[in-house]
């Protein structure tokens, strides 16, 4: 993190901006908002992608590959350079920016500057923050409040992860992985849960919890914390916030200001009965799972705190079409439906498999799981095994290392070995090329095939569908 406070970034520094790694979820969102506001934007990324094509169409100048020369993509060069925590100190563009004396901003600082002048709602938590932020955004849009937003995933409604609105509200997904959410000063802060993760950065469980405590201190004077008290970490945070004089709105299944008294799955979606201000209200959610219903309730309370009408929020949440890579339907072949999901923590995997079970309508759940990060795999191998045991058949790929170097002895097998299903229904397959044929050989009509993980496992969907179609044609 930089030493500057969230409000100290001069707007003139964002007039001409170069973003290193512009194709990433967080960085591309900032670029989109800057472009919408008429700023000059350049950037670079390691490889070509649909995101880069979209940004170019909006007017950004984008290079593939990283070089000091990329700082001159537009005449006169940038007034500032924006980087994320993923950018290494020896990155040639970062080195060149410092040599030129340019202002270097962390992604969170640039986003905080874009929030200036808005009423800000930030959604944080170990799990569910993308879905909750997305539901809130869509609900506010339905109420015609036109919020600005920056989300870690693309909304199915618009296909975008960010937008510059004119409604005076800014909704943002707040990332705790590197502590960068401490750059924000929200009027409404949502915490869905606090469960150990990202220990490669934070080091200890205690340090991870402490960063959320610091996040509470960032809430603006007169602001509110919206906390899901079904989660022990979030419940403890609510008590701490109250002790520090912050107003708290609790939600959950019991002992909350807003209580979910019932949930029932309905045709691949769900309906929650909620006790709100002494009256029963039905919250319809178009995506399945109790965890999604709780996310919807968090979004509902936040929308009310922002002044949106209840009926409009309920209609918006009911029409929410989901976020890409959150139980996203990819296609059907031979009576088998293929979905893709971003779940990469044991709690997320278990929640999504429980949600998918009713959607299978009696068919089996066949899961292709790709562990993400060696540190997370090593720490949670047993928990991943327990979560994946909720499926009927599991294929485990090797670890997607992302920013980490391999750890000896840590691979997909340690997860596969922890799964308690019969041995013939657990497959450790480190070769991507073999997975489609393997899945086609075990999947039956009526089954759901679900790719899961935060890495490139998402690319398997079309190949799985093709393999299933070939099986039908034989």
Instruction: Provide the annotated active-site residues.
Output: 129-130, 173
Backbone angles phi, psi at 441, to 5 degrees: -80, -20
Distance CA 184, CA 198 (A): 20
Closest CA to 219 of 243, 170, 184: 184
Q: How far apart are CA 445 and CA 170, in angstroms?
A: 45
DSSP-based three-state secondary structure for 226: strand
| Alpha helix ranges (H) inside 124-231 | 129-142, 199-202, 205-217
What token pair was written down for 275? 């006790």
Return the structure tokens found at 131: 């879905």
How many residues in the chain? 474
* 210: DSSP letter: H
Q: For residue 305, what are the contacts with CB-CB under 8 A and spacing of at least 6?
A: 121, 187, 188, 224, 226, 249
Tell me the C-alpha distance between 462 and 457, whole Å: 11
Cα 329-331-332 angle, rounded to 5 deg: 120
- Using CA atoms, how far residue 241 sits from 129, 185, 385, in Å, is 19, 15, 35
**Which DSSP letter does residue 314 get?**
H
Cβ–Cβ < 8 Å for 19, 35: no
Place of tokens 């079970």: 357
Report the alpha-carbon distance of residue 35 to residue 29 in Å, rounded.
Answer: 10
Q: What are the structure tokens assigned to 123, written together?
A: 């959604």
Residues 454, 408: Cα–Cα separation, whole Å: 21
């Amino acid at each position: 993190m930089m030493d500057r406070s969230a409000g100290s970034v001069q707007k003139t520094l964002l007039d001409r901006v170069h973003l290193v790694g512009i194709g990433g979820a967080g960085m591309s969102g900032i670029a989109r908002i800057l472009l919408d506001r008429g700023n000059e934007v350049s950037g670079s990324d390691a490889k070509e992608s649909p995101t880069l094509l979209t940004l170019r169409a909006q007017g950004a100048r984008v290079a593939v590959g990283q070089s000091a020369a990329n700082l001159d993509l537009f005449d006169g060069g940038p007034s500032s350079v924006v980087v994320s925590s993923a950018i290494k100190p020896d990155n040639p563009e970062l080195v060149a920016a410092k040599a030129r004396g340019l202002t270097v901003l962390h992604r969170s600082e640039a986003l905080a500057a874009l929030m200036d002048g808005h009423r800000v709602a930030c959604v944080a938590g170990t799990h569910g923050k993308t879905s909750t932020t997305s539901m809130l955004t869509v609900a506010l849009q339905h109420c015609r409040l036109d919020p600005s937003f920056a989300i870690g995933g693309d909304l199915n409604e618009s296909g975008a992860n960010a937008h510059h609105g004119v409604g005076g509200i800014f909704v943002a997904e707040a990332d705790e992985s590197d502590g960068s959410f401490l750059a924000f000063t929200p009027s409404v802060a949502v915490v869905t849960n606090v469960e150990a993760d990202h220990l490669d950065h934070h080091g200890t469980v205690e340090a991870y919890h402490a960063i959320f405590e610091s996040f509470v201190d960032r809430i603006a004077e007169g602001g509110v914390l919206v906390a899901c008290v079904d989660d022990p970490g979030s419940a403890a945070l609510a008590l701490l916030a109250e002790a520090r004089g912050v107003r708290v709105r609790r939600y959950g299944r019991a002992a909350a200001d807003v209580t979910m008294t019932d949930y029932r799955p309905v045709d691949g979606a769900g309906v929650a009965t909620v006790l709100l201000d002494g009256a029963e209200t039905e919250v319809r959610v178009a995506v399945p799972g109790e965890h999604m219903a709780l996310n919807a309730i968090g979004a509902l309370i936040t929308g009310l705190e922002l002044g949106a009408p209840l009926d409009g929020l309920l209609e918006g949440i009911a029409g929410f079409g989901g976020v890409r890579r959150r139980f996203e339907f990819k296609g059907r072949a031979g009576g088998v439906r293929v979905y893709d999901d971003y779940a990469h923590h044991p709690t997320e995997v278990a929640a999504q498999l429980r949600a998918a079970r009713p959607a299978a309508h009696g068919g089996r759940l066949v899961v292709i799981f790709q562990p993400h990060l060696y540190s997370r795999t090593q720490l949670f191998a047993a928990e991943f095994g327990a979560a994946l045991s909720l499926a009927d058949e599991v294929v485990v790929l090797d670890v997607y290392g992302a920013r980490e170097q391999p750890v000896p002895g840590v691979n997909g097998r340690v997860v596969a070995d922890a799964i308690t299903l019969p041995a013939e229904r657990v497959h450790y397959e480190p070769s991507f090329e073999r997975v489609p044929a393997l899945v086609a050989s075990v999947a039956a009509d009526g089954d759901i095939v679900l790719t899961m993980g935060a890495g490139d496992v998402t690319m398997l969907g079309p190949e799985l569908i093709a393999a299933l179609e070939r099986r039908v044609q034989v």
